[in-house]
Amino acid sequence: MYDIAIIGAGVIGAFIARELARYELNIVLIDKENDVSNGASKANSAIIHAGYDAKLGTNMAKFNSLGNPMFDKVCEELDVEFKRTGSFVVGFDDADMETIKELYQRGLDNEIEGLEIIDGDKVREMEPNLNDTIKGALYAPTCGIISPWELTIALAENAADNGVEILLNNEVVDIKKIELGYKIITNKREIDSKYVINCAGVYADKVNDMVSKDSFIITPRKGQYFVLDKSVGDFVNTVVFQCPSKVGKGILIAPTIHGNLLLGPDAEDIEDKDDVSTASENLEYIKEIAKNSSSSVPVSKVITTYSGLRSEVSTGDFIIGEAKDAKGFINVAGIKSPGLSSSPAIAEYVVDIMKGITGELKEKSDFNPRRRRVIRFNNLGDEEKAELIKKDPSFGRIICRCESVTEGEIVDIIRRNAGATTVDGVKRRARPGTGRCQGGFCGPRIVEILARELNKDMDEIVKDREGSYILIGNTNKGKK
């Protein structure tokens, strides 16, 4: 019997797991996917919003403004790259400037620091590649960029380091009330737990309906993106949003923490909660609208595209709290944007909820908020590099040429808690295959290293989900 079962190993579930791991609790973190961070947490705008956007009084406003300042500490503890770049919301006409004034006021209401309305010349002084048509902008210096999946993986790893059990490839199909709590039935097994925390992302409504009559509906809202080559990663230095208007919500141009450039997203309500396909019309639309901010945006340098789903909830605001008709079942649902930015504050709040339900929780004496440092070979100085290779020669072997990733780094991320077991899992943790050749050279090498480290055959290695096999066995004259 677990004390707490958390359903969904996205950024919210992993953050809550890590915060609850501070206490004497027996916790399991369950996900239907083959890796942590495989839903909305891996496919979004990768931005820590300043917090001016949501209306005062909403959960979104509250947790965003509380969450944003918490990132410096948690990223330092978990060795996750994070950078406060600042952001612009650019406006093109008087109507936009009115909206910008409203956003500024909302920001003041939410007590966001450093907000400033600046004119077009100042915008272009700071971002010379932006268009002359920009009339002015709201500048928010506290906006930051992050790798959202790296944060999620780090949280899961740190949770596991502190005793949380992670159960992947387990899709929750039903939950039954039992005397002491709940029986969670997955496609693979049954799990008894005193308390359940529902962080199931776009599926949170389905999971809620397994125990509660108090329904809500989550509609997946799809957003598509372009990733551009690192050679144009410094096209802008700040996150450039467009002013939301009658015509649309605008498209952002943003640097990524890894030095690429990001364009997107559009917004499209869809039915299928698993549909992360991209489509030409949407991608063309994004290119076109991005050009409003900068007509010279280098769209020819695209290296890949992706799409992600936001959890649009029928109540319009984050749902966080114990279900009225299901004691010990806590929903953390409808965590759409700014969910990532709100995640540290949401996790703290959920810990408080748990304390409210169970009474004071007993703190562990040996909780370690830090995880072992991640080796980013390319960022080291020459002496450190030389020393590392002397200690472990596998750091002298470069596997991914585009991103200069060494074998040593790949082996390290496979061997960690919540470590990589798939080609995409390796890619998300150590970046081989994210460069301009997209794994053309390093793909077979990654498969080989995974097979060796996991003691499997190469044809047992998958790209991402359980069914995403890469090889179908030996050739007629192949080995064996």
Partner 1 sequence: MEYDIVVIGGGPAGLAAAVEAKKSGVDSILVIERDRELGGILQQCIHNGFGLHVFKEELTGPEYAERFVDKIRELNIEYKLDTMVLNITEDKIVSAMNSKDGLINIKARAVILSMGCRERTRGAINIPGTRPSGIFTAGTAQRYINMEGYMVGKKIFILGSGDIGLIMARRLTLEGAEVIGVAELMPYSGGLTRNIIQCLHDYNIPLFLSHTITRIDGRDRIEGIVLSEVDENKRPIIGTEKYFECDTLLLSVGLIPENELSKSANLKLDNITGGPIVNESMETTVEGIFACGNVVHVHDLVDYVSEEGSRAGKNAAKYVLEGLGRVERIINTKLGKGIRYIVPQVIRLENIDNSITLFMRSDDVYSDVIMNIKLDEEVIKRIKKRTLTPGEMERVNIDMSLLKDNIAETLVVELDRGEE
Catalytic positions, written as ranges: 49
Q: Residue 229 CB, nearest distance to partner 1 (Å)?
A: 9
Residues with Cβ within 8 Å of 156's Cβ and at least 6 positions away in sequence, in order, are: 9, 14, 17, 18, 29, 36, 37, 164, 166, 417, 418
**Closest Cα partner for 70 from 155, 13, 138, 139?**
155
Q: Considering the complex, what minimum distance in angstroms separates the CB of residue 407 from partner 1? A: 8
Q: Give me the 452-471 binding string for partner 1, x by CB under 8 A, dash otherwise.
A: ------xx--xxxxxxxxxx
Residue 149 interacting with partner 1 (CB under 8 A): no
Find, among 51, 213, 39, 231, the residue nearest to 138 by Cα: 51
Q: For residues 49 and 230, which CB has a smaller minimum distance to partner 1 in the complex?
A: 230
Identify which range of 206-214, 257-265, 311-319, 434-442 contacts partner 1 by CB under 8 A.
434-442
d(CA 455, CA 207): 35
Q: Report which secondary-structure segment, H or E, holds 76.
A: helix 71-78
Provide, rounded to whole angstroms, the least separation between the CB of residue 347 and partner 1. 30
Answer yes or no: are the C-beta atoms of 337 and 49 closer than 8 Å.
yes
Contact map string, positions 378 to 417, toward partner 1, x by CB under 8 A: ----x--xx--xx--xxxxxx--x--x-------------
C-alpha distances out from residue 308 to 45, 274, 276, Å: 9, 10, 6
Q: Which stretch binds partner 1 (CB under 8 A): 113-121, 185-193, 257-265, 279-287?
A: 279-287
Nearest to 238 by CA among 304, 139, 147: 139
Shortest CB 402 distance to partner 1, Å:
8
Report the residue number, 352 or 382, with the smaller CB distance to partner 1: 382
For residue 356, with 0-12 CB atoms within 10 Å meaning exposed, 13-18 middle and 19 or more buried, which class applies?
exposed
The DSSP code for 110 is T
User: Residue 237 or residue 304: which is nearer to partner 1 going by CB?
Assistant: 304
Sole binder of partner 1 in the list 99, 317, 441, 454 (CB under 8 A): 441
Q: Quick check: 161 and 368 in contact, CB under 8 A? A: yes
**Residues 281-300 interacting with partner 1 (rule: CB under 8 A):** 282-283
CB 90 within 8 A of CB 130: yes
**Please, which residue, 79 or 464, has the CB nearer to partner 1?**
464
331 Cβ contact list (under 8 Å, min separation 6)? 198, 204, 208, 212, 319, 320, 321, 322, 323
Q: Closest approach of Cβ 285 to partner 1, in Å?
A: 12
437 near partner 1 (CB under 8 A): yes
Contact flag: residue 421 with partner 1 (CB under 8 A): no
In the complex, the residues that contact partner 1 under the rule CB under 8 A are 227, 274, 276-280, 282-283, 302-306, 382, 385-386, 389-390, 393-398, 401, 404, 436-441, 443-444, 448, 458-459, 462-479
